[in-house]
A and B are shown apart, each in its own frame.
Chain A
Amino acid sequence: MPDVEMQGSPVDPGESLLRALDVPDWWDLSVDPPRARSFAFKVNSPFSVNVASMIGLEGAVRHMTEVLHCPNGGIVSFSCGRARAVGYDARHELDPQYPENRAHANVYCCGSSSRRKRDAKALAEMCATVHRPRFGVES
């Protein structure tokens, strides 16, 4: 995790965050929300989201499909403020690979490694699927 001074500005707690999940094993389509492993990264490894008010759901789907080339992935939404309450801090930071996407933010897990699974589970449970994945669906 970079120094706080190196991090981008905090995302407003009132924002909704959109996360593209493009790994089939991160989903169990018989249940909602997605599996917690999609958030259970090491403590110093942020994951990418898009700020919903800046990109919109259609834009997030288009980004996942046309830029990330993951047409079968799904997208979940969660509250920035609620995520921060369970230890996930979202920061406005560009993705060096796709700097044109101004809606990009990194989410840092601020908890300890001894409770990262509980934190990931809590975050997964507050997610809502806003774009269902299409793994196994003929396109």
Chain B
Amino acid sequence: MVYRGHVANGIIQLDGSVVLPEGTVVRVELATEPRDEEFRASIEDELDRLASLPSNWDHEGALQLEWNFGRRSLELEIETPATIHYLRWDPNEEVEDEDVFEIEDIPRAVHLIQWFVKGLVDA
């Protein structure tokens, strides 16, 4: 059985009205990894920064989201209003993958970001 809860003042409190019998042995597993939160916060900061840019801010018309961890890199460049040009790069895994996909293909973007995050978690 899995119950959700949160930490308050250093004590784990179960959500809702769940009460476990005294002496119950439990196993605690983090619902979110600290690095996930850090990664998410960095993305939100970056999106806020991008949203504040004026129109045609660099006269080149391309935006790129980029993450680096050691030699592992992920680049998502909005090459045209309809396409994203990406680079997955990790010499340690012999990954040098570059391609273009439709900007509405959100699952593909998520898959790429998950690949990058997996490298952080495994490190």
User: In the complex, which residues of chain B have a beta carbon less than 8 angstroms from the beta carbon of A121?
Assistant: 73, 87, 89, 96
Q: A-facing mask of B78-102, CB < 8 A → 1, else 0?
A: 0000000111010000001011100
User: In the complex, which residues of chain B have a beta carbon less than 8 angstroms from the beta carbon of A43?
Assistant: none
| A114 at interface, CB cutoff 8 A | yes
| B68 at interface, CB cutoff 8 A | yes
Query: Interface of chain A, helix or strand or loop or mixed?
Result: helix
* Residue in A closest to B64 when the chains form the complex, CB atoms: A37
Which of A106-122 touch B at CB < 8 Å?
Answer: 114-115, 117-118, 121
* A122: min CB distance to chain B, Å: 8
User: In the complex, which residues of chain A have a beta carbon less than 8 angstroms from the beta carbon of B68?
Assistant: 28, 31, 35
User: In the complex, which residues of chain A have a beta carbon less than 8 angstroms from the beta carbon of B99?
Assistant: 114
- B interface residues (Cβ-Cβ under 8 A, vs A): 64, 66, 68, 70, 73, 75, 77, 85-87, 89, 96, 98-100
